[in-house]
Amino acid sequence: MLLGLGSALVAAVMYGVASIMQARASREIPEGNLTPRTVIDLLRRPLLLASIVLLVLGYVFHLVAVRQVPLFLAQTGIAVSLVVTALLAVRYFGDHLSRLEWGAIVAVVGGLVLLSSAAGETGTERGTPTLTRSLFVVLALVVLVAFFATRFEGALAAAVLGLAGGMGYAIVAIASRLLHDFVLGDLLTSGVTYVLVLSGVLAFFVYSLALQRGSVTAATTSLITTQTIAPTIAGVAFLGDEVRDGYWPIFILGFVLTAVAAAVLVRFEGVQDPVRGIDEPAPN
């Protein structure tokens, strides 16, 4: 339990820093659609490449988390990346947290404590052809939604693209649990491996496009919500994750408390200027 939750929190730190880098880099190019040209433009940004490296490193810890603890606990731990973003903004940008936002940070920690106490056995279900095909179908729907959403601008487009990106990252979490083992030959022949890689790459670039079209609030609220809720449902319903007997009320309270607090912190993140450099102080 401690290894899994600790790994999720380490991943959250890396993801929180990477999101700031990604937001800034995405705003440096004109708005685009989900095309090879836009992808190439993004990949020319050193800051974006640095965020990719950080995300990959974070995924190593994320992988440990989803294999060690129920998905609802691992994904809620990942939501702590919003706390990291808020605290980094205070430290490096000179921003100030209101009492509400400090309360939200305490609530996230409290929610994690409740979820940890409610977590039962981690499911041992692994990939089956039906589950793998289902993930490919969901991934195709993500591509379809993203394709149409890039035709629009503004907060609604950012929210829809954030939702699509969140579903992509949700597939990454679910697929990470479905992997049978880590033998190279088996990984190369497993459909789960390919849906994991494709969904991760797609989610990253879809989220970058979301950050171009609206505030970080609009993009990140839907992303964090989707990538937390979808694996939670999948873990309990299909992968054998368990909540301890008699702890369902605590589980629900912890989940709701963390989700609401994360939404408050997403609002805080969204009022920051994502194109401001990390070394530049916030204007007074």
What radius of gyration do the chain's Cα atoms show? Answer: 18
Angle at 244 between CA 243 and CA 246, to 5 degrees: 110
In tens, the pLDDT along 116-138 reads 888 888 877 766 788 889 999 99
Query: In 3-state terms, what secondary structure has residue 259?
Result: helix
- Per residue in 177-231, pLDDT (tens digit) is 888 777 777 788 889 999 999 999 999 999 988 888 866 656 776 787 788 888 8
% of the chain beyond a pLDDT of 90: 25
DSSP code for 278: T
Share of the chain above pLDDT 70, in %: 85
Residue 64 has pLDDT above 80, yes or no: yes
